[in-house]
Amino acid sequence: MEKSLPTTERAPSEAAGSKNFLRSTISKLVLLVFTLYLLVQSIGDPRHHHSRKHDNAKSSCLQPPPLFPPTPDESLQRLWEYIGTESFKSASIIRHSGAVKIDTSSFDDMGPVGEDKRWDTRFEFHDYLAVTFPRIHQDLKLEKVNTFGLLYTWQGSDESLKPLVLMSHQDVVPVPASTVDAWTHPPFSGYYDGTFIWGRGSSDCKNQLIAGMETIELLLDAGYKPKRTIVLSFGFDEEISGREGAGTLAPFLIERYGENGVAAIVDEGAGFSKQWGQVFALPGVAEKGYTDVFITVRTPGGHSSIPTDHTSIGILSELLSKIESVQYRTYLADESPMLGLMQCGADHAPHFPSKLSKLLSKRSNSNTHSSPPTCKPKPDALALEAAKMGPPVKYLMQTSQAIDVISGGVKVNALPERTTVTVNHRINIGDTPETVWKHLTKLAKPVAEKYNLTLHAFDDVKEAPLSISLYASPNTLEVAPVTPTDVDTVSPYAVLAGTTRAVYGEDVVVAPGMMTGNTDTRYYWPITTHIFRFGPGYDPETDSGLGNIHTVDEKISVANHVGMVKWFVLFVQNMDAAVLE
């Protein structure tokens, strides 16, 4: 059964003044009750901590109550009920399927915007959005940044309130021709099988773009008038690092609203996961850093019939073997969201491992979690124990390294004079790009000395004769700032958590999540401290999650998509009503 939805009221007429004064008073009382509820939790009311396995206040995982907009409105109530109907579901399938049918692939070798015709598929996608969402294109301000970046602005009535920004990206990863036959349904068919919509971009992330558009279109149809400005910002090349899309949209918005001028951002990201017998919603509040390191070995050439003992390929292979044999430290920095997730597991999950719980309690009760800088770091027992859950968990607590691309040699009877490799790194919270560079320099130095080669390590010399050269990609990215996750105040995180529990029930625990990859939000760090990388759709029946993104048979369940629309409809209204601290 659908829950009744109290919703936010619009500007009152003169005849309804006294009635709306009462509603306004009720709204303030509801917000006061919400704040008092959180205050009671923060001082340890046992009714809300019955499942806690340790007593340290810092390590408790407080959960706000389900949060609905504070005052009723007939048109918004009808909107909420409509989202749960077969009529809306059928229309939404058509809208999302139509978006998937448009191939907006981004390729690594894309030329400049305006020159490379492969960008032009975005024109077709823009036309589709204009036809599919007429109210948005009639009532909102649309600006196009760098030709294809879409910026929709719904101006709020209160300019003192910081705007809310909802993000997504228009592009998808390409489908290799060699894999097309492996798809159950053609990759750009948008096929609906009664449960799932199939196709490239169905879950990464045209679903979130379409859900955001559907939300605004529905609110416009219902006559909703926000106090807080709402901005939809859609990049068009996220799959190739977003430089042309988000890389131009973000500076545009920073120029308009200023640094820290936005209340919160929601972009694609982590979703829901069942762990330790508990369903968690895991909004990404942090991202790992990023650096590609290019290594080039230059040695003399010659005829293969009179070879040197070690060619550039052999020397580089020796170095790569050393790199793979020495992994980065597995540890949890105090600010790591993974620490918060484990605290939530210990508090709320029925099958949270007792060993992890003991290690967590020991850490929580300790005043020091790391060794002095002059000492070799001590092993992090908590992180090492958690890492036993497998690579997806391990690499949320460790800088990763992956040797991804190698090239060397041009002819079978000619010694290779130049061999290159690219090593990709995703940087753990607590580490920096310099951590990676120093580590690789240390490993490369003895190899260079062994073969009497000059070592150029991150000294701006990309290559030279008789040398080993290491240099970093200009796309190097520091670890993202960590979004605050306070729920003892009316914060954006508390609004997000309360909205999630309103849509999916109080059995869902909202915990801090973390991204191993990077999203377009990398360009938006200066504009707000409240960035959430969150896919708020969830279907417990299929638990399809991200639905095979970037591979064969990408798909999304329609129930997941409808849940996402419900979430955005509530979140927009809840953020509009919130008096953020």
- How far apart are the C-alpha atoms of 85 and 81, rounded to whole Å? 7
230, with CB counted inside 10 A (0-12, 13-18, 19+), is buried
| Cα distance between residue 223 and residue 240, in whole Å | 38
Q: Any residues with CB less than 8 A from the CB of 275 and at least 6 apart, and which?
A: 345, 349
The 8-class DSSP code of residue 389 comes to G
| Burial of 155 from C-beta contacts in 10 A (0-12 / 13-18 / 19+) | middle
**In the block, residue with structure tokens 């969402």:** 133
β-strand partners of 168: 234
Query: Is 239 labelled a binding residue?
Result: yes
Active site residue: 9, 73, 103, 171, which one? 171
Residue type, 21: F
**Is there a contact between 173 and 529 (Cβ–Cβ < 8 Å)?**
no
Give, in order, the Cα–Cα distances in Å from 92 to each of 148, 192, 201, 210, 384.
24, 11, 15, 9, 45
267 is in an annotated binding site: yes
User: Is the separation of the CB atoms in 532 and 98 below 8 Å?
Assistant: no
- My answer on whether omega of the bond before 375 falls inside 30° of 0, hence cis, is no
Angle between helices 74-83 and 558-577 (to 10 degrees): 160
| DSSP state letters, 546-580 | T-STTSTT-EEEHHHHHHHHHHHHHHHHHHHH---
**Which residue blocks in 233-289 are alpha helix, DSSP H?**
246-257
| Residue among 277, 282, 279, 347 at smallest CA distance from 507 | 279
Query: Is 238 a known active-site residue?
Result: yes
Quick check: is 171 catalytic? yes
Q: What are phi and psi of 470, to 5 degrees?
A: -125, 130
Helix residue ranges, H only, 326-378 = 337-348, 354-364
Q: Which two tokens stand for residue 123?
A: 């024109």
> Residue 502 and residue 499: Cα distance in Å, rounded?
5
Is residue 520 a known part of a binding site?
no
Residue 330: both structure tokens together = 């597995």
Nearest by Cα to 439 from 300, 322, 360, 542: 322
Q: Is 14 left (phi over 0), alpha (psi -120 to 50) or beta?
A: alpha
Q: 9, 217, 237, 238: which is the annotated catalytic residue? A: 238
Q: Is 550 annotated as belonging to a binding site?
A: yes
Q: What is the DSSP string of 180-220?
A: GGG-SS-TTS--B-SSEEESTTTTTTHHHHHHHHHHHHHHH
Angle between helices 74-83 and 86-100 (to 10 degrees): 70
Tell me the catalytic residues: 171, 238
Residues making up the annotated binding site are 169, 204, 239, 267, 550
Positions at the binding site for Zn(2+) = 169, 204, 239, 267, 550
